[in-house]
Amino acid sequence: QFTLPYVEEFAQGITIYGGKLFQVFGYPTGGFPAQIVVSSLSAHAPMATLDISTTSISLEELEDCAVYNNQLVVGATSNNVYAIEFC
């Protein structure tokens, strides 16, 4: 058991894949930018924070995520679904 740093006030969905924990955060209209944080489960630490501020996702409130066909699939409150290739 371990604790990861608390990244944003608005934590939403998480998924685990390939020894990594993927977290989606944000509430852009409330002043909390959307972001995706990837953490290593073996190192017990964050590996990367994905800057999505210049993407079509940047104004979305991200709700949940899953991995499908080597893509991180992210759902938003707008009912939009985004696929981000990461492998």
What pLDDT digit, counting tens, does each position of 47-87 carry? 998 878 788 888 888 899 999 998 999 999 999 999 998 75
- Mean of pLDDT values over 17-41: 88
What is the band of 9 on the pLDDT scale with cuts at 50, 70, 90? low
What is the band of 33 on the pLDDT scale with cuts at 50, 70, 90? confident
Q: What is the pTM of this model?
A: 0.85
C-alpha–C-alpha distance, residues 52 and 59, integer Å: 9
C-alpha–C-alpha distance, residues 2 and 17, integer Å: 17
